[in-house]
């Protein structure tokens, strides 16, 4: 009898928690500076290299993340493609993001150089600023690619660590499904970015630990939290995000009905029904 009552209490507690979301806290500080974070003249002296997000204090694992930027160039062969999101046209790349070297989130991709490539052009133009010269040097110590010159030979295979980030548990608890890394353009603000992407301004502020008065710098990464609907709209191939809203509504109603049954019929009968149907 005591075991049955304990099981009943546990069931009630689980169903009760499912009805109330947990409040979120911020996780990742805005990494922008007055200098371009992908510029080759920057020497990384901080514990976190410029523009990369630390995963040191978050659970290990991987997630789907998105790199989005406004650009007139299109590097389709590198996985970037044109997409329309909100009120603007973007180039976008979906990446498998994971915690890697130096406790930093990243996605490692390979790139074969063309004539005239430098770390500067690879970071800022080929990959739209989603990598940095310092990280390219770190991941390719045996290559003698010029930093700012343009005498690189064709066909050199280099590893390119791309910036990305995964939602923390706190963010997941309030419905954030994925994080997009957006490359800030000149004269943009949090308000203009939120308006262009049709996302909530406050979620951007919270995700980047920003205030309404914080200045954004061009060519710096900014995290844009996306719920399931926004993730599905940006990436229709994401089967996890593109779950039918009717199914989600059904599950919520089922949890509510479960609580009502327990209250109406008491612990013994409710536990018996739970055992029969589960």
Q: For residue range 113-127, what is the model confidence (pLDDT) as tens digits? A: 888 888 888 998 899
With 90 as the cut, is the pLDDT of residue 201 above it?
yes
Give the residues across from 104 on adjacent strands. Answer: 54
Other Cβ atoms within 10 Å of 166 Cβ, number = 23
Tokens, residue 59: 């659970």
pLDDT band at 146 (very low <50, low <70, confident <90, very high): low
Give the whole-number percent of the chain exceeding pLDDT 90.
Answer: 34
Which residues does 7 contact at the CB level (< 8 Å), separation at least 6? 271
Q: Considering only 59-63, 166-170, 269-273, which range has the smallest mean pLDDT? A: 269-273
Which 3 state secondary structure label does DSSP give 225? strand
Tokens, residue 5: 């009552």
Distance of CA 125 to the CA centre of its chain: 22
| More confidently predicted of 64 and 274 | 64
pLDDT band at 246 (very low <50, low <70, confident <90, very high): very low
Give the whole-number percent of the chain exceeding pLDDT 70.
Answer: 66
User: Is pTM, for the whole model, over 0.75?
Assistant: no
With 50 as the cut, is the pLDDT of residue 259 above it?
yes
What pLDDT is stored for residue 24 in this prediction? Answer: 36
The DSSP call for residue 125 is I
With 80 as the cut, is the pLDDT of residue 80 above it?
yes
pLDDT band at 224 (very low <50, low <70, confident <90, very high): very high
With 90 as the cut, is the pLDDT of residue 67 above it?
yes
With 90 as the cut, is the pLDDT of residue 195 above it?
yes
Tokens, residue 117: 């490539």
What pLDDT is stored for residue 120 in this prediction? Answer: 86
Residue pair 4/189 in contact by the 8 Å Cβ criterion:
no
- Look over the chain and give the mean of its residue pLDDT values, rounded to a whole number: 77
Q: Identify each DSSP E strand in the chain by its residue range.
A: 62-69, 81-85, 88-99, 105-112, 157-162, 176-183, 221-227
Which residues does 8 contact at the CB level (< 8 Å), separation at least 6? 262, 267, 268, 270, 271
Residue pair 167/177 in contact by the 8 Å Cβ criterion:
yes
Residue pair 179/223 in contact by the 8 Å Cβ criterion:
yes
């Amino acid at each position: 009898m005591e075991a049955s009552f304990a099981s009943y209490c546990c069931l009630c507690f689980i169903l009760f928690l499912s009805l109330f979301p947990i409040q979120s806290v911020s996780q990742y500080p805005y990494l922008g500076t007055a200098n371009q974070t992908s510029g080759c003249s920057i020497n990384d002296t901080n514990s976190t290299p410029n523009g990369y997000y630390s995963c040191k204090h978050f659970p290990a694992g991987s997630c789907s993340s998105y790199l989005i930027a406004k650009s007139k160039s299109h590097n389709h062969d590198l996985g970037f493609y044109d997409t329309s999101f909100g009120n603007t046209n973007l180039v976008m790349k979906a990446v498998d993001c994971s915690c890697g070297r130096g406790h930093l989130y990243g996605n490692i991709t390979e790139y074969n150089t063309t004539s005239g490539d430098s770390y500067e052009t690879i970071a800022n133009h080929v990959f739209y600023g989603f990598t940095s010269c310092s990280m390219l040097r770190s991941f390719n110590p045996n290559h003698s690619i010029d930093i700012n010159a343009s005498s690189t030979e064709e066909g050199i295979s280099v590893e390119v660590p791309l910036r990305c980030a995964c939602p923390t548990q706190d963010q997941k608890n309030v419905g954030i499904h994925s994080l997009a890394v957006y490359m800030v353009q000149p004269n943009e603000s949090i308000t203009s970015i939120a308006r262009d992407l049709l996302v909530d301004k406050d979620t951007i502020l919270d995700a980047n630990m920003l205030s309404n008065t914080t200045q954004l710098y061009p060519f710096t990464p900014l995290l844009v939290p996306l719920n399931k609907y926004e993730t599905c709209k940006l990436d229709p191939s994401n089967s996890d995000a593109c779950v039918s809203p009717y199914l989600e509504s059904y599950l919520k109603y089922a949890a509510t009905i479960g609580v009502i049954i327990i209250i109406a019929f008491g612990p013994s009968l409710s536990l018996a029904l739970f055992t029969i149907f589960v």
